[in-house]
Structure 1
Amino acid sequence: MSQDKDYNQAILEAPEDLFYRFPLSLVHGVPLMKPIANNWEKIENFLARPDDLLIATYPKAGTTWMQEIVDFIIHDGDLDQANCAPTYVRSPFLEISSPPPIPSGVDVLETTPSPRMIKTHLQYKLVPKSFWEKNCKVIYVARNPKDIAVSYYFFDLMKQTQPDPGTWEEMWTILGWGSWFDHVINWWEAKDKHQILYMFYEDMKEDPKREIYKVMKYLGKKLPGEVVEKICQHTTFKAMKENPMTNYSSMPSAVMDHSISPFIRKGEVADWKNHFTEKQSKRFDAEYEKRMEGTDLKFRCTI
Structure 2
Amino acid sequence: MQETAPPAPHPARDPEPAPAQPRPAERVEIPVPSVQRARERGVAAAANPIVLRTEELTKSYGDLLAAAEVSIAVHAGSFIGVVGPNGAGKTTVLSMISGLNRPTSGRVTVHGIDVWADGPKAKRLIGTLPDRLRLFDRLTGAQLLYYAGVLHGVEEAVLSTRARELAQAFGLESALERPVSDYSAGMQKKIGLACAMIHAPGVLVLDEPFEAIDPVSASNVTEILEKFVAGGGSVVMSSHSLDLIQRVCDHVAVIVDGAVIAQGTVDAVRGGVSLEERFRSLTRTEEAGKGLEWLHGS
TM-score bracket for the superposition, by shorter chain length: under 0.3
**Which of 1 and 2 has greater Rg?**
2
> Normalized against structure 1, the TM-score is what?
0.27
Whose strand proportion is higher, 1 or 2?
A: 2
Report the structure, 1 or 2, having the larger helix content.
Answer: 1
Taking structure 2 as the reference length, the TM-score comes to 0.27
